[in-house]
Amino acid sequence: MVALPWLGGCSSESGGGSGKPVVVATTTMVADLAREIGGDRVEVKGLMGPGVDPHNYVPKLADTRLLEKADVVLYSGLHLEGKFQSTLEAMAKRGGNVVAVSDGLPAEQLLAPQEGFEGTKDPHIWGDPRLWALAVGPVVDALAKADPAGKAEYVERGESYRKALLELDGWAREEVGKVAEEKRVLVTSHDAFFYFGRAYGFQVKGLQGVSTAAEAGVKDRAELVKYLRELGVRTVFSETSINAKGIEAVAAEAGVRVSGSSLYSDALGRPGDVGEAGGVRFDRGTYLGMVRHNVNAIVEGLK
């Protein structure tokens, strides 16, 4: 049970009624990680649904109730969850089993945002599956702390999922090889793809910054149009968790096309939204499927 500062006292009611530890996760990516590692031993509840932008997320009353019942709270961290992060940190300070999955990453692997947000790091770590594999450790530890009897199972599932992530990285590396190096320019709605770009050799530019809290201005659009023309970029990408109007306006002005496949940046797709490419089926509602969708869309759009 996580102690909430504004609720005083603990409810004795058990979480989901199933008797399993209740794991509350903020974003869809973190909820997916918890499901992969927790398996049937835990009940995972995600606060943010598909298509929800975590940067501007304001917790609802129902979220507060869920947090109150949680045995484990997992969040992404590095200020991805915006102002919500201070609430989560306060819960951790009061002794709650509240963990940022980004705590598993060594500081030297983190990127600084392009401009503004001094002193913070780019939170979009899931853009590189090898970095996301480092987020497995804190989840295994947090689940084992809540449910010591399940520790061996969490460790084993964590290890096999880590392997799946590294295999995914190997596949992605082969796929991006189909795009000539000079064509590896990824332009999207906001700065969510720097880790992806570093991993796979893409120049990356977003219309909005690392957070979506600030709207893109006229100057940002003009600069991006100039950039697209200078580099001869022909395809740009919208993102599922951000209104496409901004990037569409830039594309129209620059005379380039917007890919028909919107990228999943800060939220996974709907569970059960299955795609297929090269004989492989993938569920866009999972992290593994999200990366496959994005890589396929990027390679198709830029090669």
**Residues in contact with Zn ion by the rule CB under 5 A:** 192, 266
Q: Select 53 or 141, whichever has its Cβ closest to Zn ion.
A: 53
Q: How many CB atoms sit inside 10 A of residue 87's CB?
A: 18
CA atoms of 230 and 193, how far apart (whole Å): 20
In the complex, the smallest distance separating the C-beta of residue 268 from Zn ion, rounded to whole angstroms, is: 13
Q: How far apart are CA 137 and CA 130, in angstroms?
A: 13
* Closer by beta carbon to Zn ion, 129 or else 158: 129
Question: Whole-number minimum distance, CB 68 to Zn ion, in Å?
Answer: 28
Would you say 135 and 104 are in contact if contact means Cβ atoms under 8 Å apart? yes
Closest approach of Cβ 175 to Zn ion, in Å? 23
Residue 171: CB minimum distance to Zn ion, A = 24
Which of 192, 210, 212 is closest to 202 using CA atoms?
192
CB atoms near residue 113 (< 10 Å):
20
Task: CB nearer to Zn ion: give 128 or 266.
Answer: 266
For 182-211, letters b (16+ CB in 10 Å) and e give: ebbbbbbbbbbbbbbbbbbebebbbbbbbb
CB of 20 to Zn ion, least distance (A): 31
Tell me whether residue 175 or residue 266 sits nearer to Zn ion (CB atom): 266
Which is closer to Zn ion, CB of 141 or CB of 266?
A: 266
